[in-house]
Chain A
Amino acid sequence: MPLTETSAFKIARRAAREIAPGAVVALDRGLPELVARVTPESMGVWFLRADGTLNGIPLSAADAAAIVRGGYVDLAIVHPAQVTADGRFVGRLYARDASIAPPGIGVDLASGARRIIALHPQINEDEPEICLASHLLERPVDGVGGIDRVIADCAVFEPQGTEFVLSEIATDRQADDVVADSDLSEVVSISDYPAAMDFTVPSGTPESKVHADGASALHDLPDGVTVFIDGFGGPGGMAHYLLMSLRDRGSRGLTIVSNTAGIARVVSFGTPPGRTAIDHSVLIENGQVAKAIASFPVSPSVSRPSEFELAYRRGEVDLELVPQGTLAERLRAGGAGIRAFYTPTGAGTLIAEGKESRTIDGRDYILEYGLRADFAIIRAHKADINGNLIYRGTSRNFNAVMAPAARVTIVEVDEIVEPGQLDPEEIVTPGVFVQRIVKRPDGFTGYE
């Protein structure tokens, strides 16, 4: 039975039913791209395509792979040549000629995506390259144990380790016939009660990311978690309103990760004349901070110590001192699913003590670990309602690296706009990295 446009769209619609509103879905080339065409825009789905775009936002290859490895892909839809009952799969290019085909992003998807479904257009022994198999042909494998479900135009199969189970069947077909006709009886057993395949277009809308105020955006920030706090040290790029909301919420025992631990208030760092900026000190003097991970934790002036330094000297807070570039790279790695990396920074210094080290090409490097947090509180200039962000000037610096590295990233912006009002070429942080958006209240200055 050749693949017709009708059957291709049927597969795509059934596959689209696997997608939750607002989900991030990575699409392999070819048939999976049809899934984006049949998914209603109102579902707010983020499609990461093989051409490196995310809903039209152009990404570098590194950033696209970071989204996958960083754990942001809820569902990957692939179109492999072969799937085995234990969930391994072989890409089509490899299947044709392994000597010329690159592994592509399939390998990243296999290890990074939460779920992977395979589209299986034809069940046809005349096309032996596209098949369900009990074991793989002798070819390199893109993914091990990755495929959760195989969707064909007349049936759905679940890899169960040693065999596939036919779990759904099209209403106009008989499960026995499908298995027998396609010579799958050796690898497929039929579920006792296969469900009827549903080819209707899915619906639903994602929960809005826009929160009315800081209390709402921080409503579930508990005691004892790690929070990234944005900015370089001055009032530029700092989410003062959310910082005050966090103080009002009163969550305690926090580990804060930030470039400084609050110096603007005491030395006017980056602060216009005559102003006193709100900074991390509001959390420290309220007894909410247990530990800071920072590169510039104390005041550059010995005679004007910060709240953090005073608390540190009283033994009330711990400090993990990190070189600034190492902090930035630990955040970048954390957001990109890279668990650790070797850096030359700090080799031979106190920073290297207790860390693994390695000499590569005659130079000493130390092992540093990626950093992730439960929450990030960041600042941007504008967001659209999907969470795409642009920044102003040097206030991008730590905000843009923190956004991808937290489970819940909450952004404070000057302005919230509709989709399409930000130029995709200028978007710095794609909305997949942003879970909540709050507009800074009119008249709120960030100064005491």
Chain B
Amino acid sequence: MSKTLKQIQEIAGAIKNPFLEKAIAQNKPVVGYFCSYVPEEILHAAGFVPYRMRAVGSTGTARGDTYFTAVNCSFVRRCFDQVLNGEYDFLAGAVVLNGCDHSRRIYDNWRDAKKSGLPAPEHLFMLVAPHVLRDSALARYEKELEKIIQGLENACGTKISPKALKDSFALYQKRQELVEKLYALRRQDIPAITGAEMLSVLMAITAVPVEDAISLLTKLVAEVEGRRAASADDIRLMLVGGCMEEPEHIALIEENPAVVVADSLCYGARMLRPPQENEPDEPVAALARRYLYHPSCPRMINDFERRKDAIFNAFRESGADAIIAEKLMFCDLWGGEIFLLRKEAKERGIPFLGLEREMYGGGEGQIRTRVQAFIEQVQNARARNGQGGKKVV
């Protein structure tokens, strides 16, 4: 295995990592954030290390369940449990987003926890993103970003200069270009990196300073180019869904003769934003446009057509054979999305499997059975259509 990949997997497997600890030791404040609608560039330009919040290492929800309930999302419960366990004590601040009914309450519950003397960062912000794509919504989102900028400036005691923003844009654009290179390597006839590995990469690069992320990615791209991470007979899968941060879950899928070559996931292709405009006169306006119009998730009510097109374009471009769509239990947004995507997939004759699970929730036996049966089904279809490859036996 590539040395850098191993390092990346270690970073992805824990909340803290050596790069983050080094930054903390250098008194660089860290700001946690939820969701791809929070512009990392702003946090970085303000002098913070942006850190995407996760539930990694969660062993339960005992503390999280003092605020949330069994009917709430397992990601939110577990992540908040980690918060209350003190695992996020290193945060100077956090930006919560109104992603969904579960995650937006993190802001409310965390403020309450803070009042009760429970672990909480000094600065807590709520960023409100619209649920629609429209000019009026864009203007509104821009105003919300201005509020966050104001809050961050108050927190760090300095103004965010246009130059600082421009420098941050350049760094994050570089990071994205490297990620896009890896995505291209996934699309090859023999992918150079598996789906499980890719998830580790995306988790790792959002847990370290962007400069370190660029360094890791640069090394990784060099190390995996030319690598054969799958076999020609493997069923090529596209993975679609919301919160997923367990590489071991994707590895379970890829235990079968299958490899994930494309995705639309929170830690995935939906992190890839349209290119930042060069020399923008109004950097915040340009940033707002870029973030609001990035590949959306089902929280965006009037964007299903564009979202669907992006998914099926990625499916086609990656040469995928089938789609596995996943949701966490009690997620209305992805439940409805899977309902719609299943219809679209059926119309296109694309094999489609919907899975539901709890984050770190076990149930591997059930998932294994479903995925294995689905792969067998796709293999049969391939053989029937004369596409080569083996049937089940």
User: Are chains A and B native binding partners rather than an unrelated pairing?
Assistant: no
Interface residues, chain B, with chain A CB atoms under 8 Å away: none
Interface residues, chain A, with chain B CB atoms under 8 Å away: none
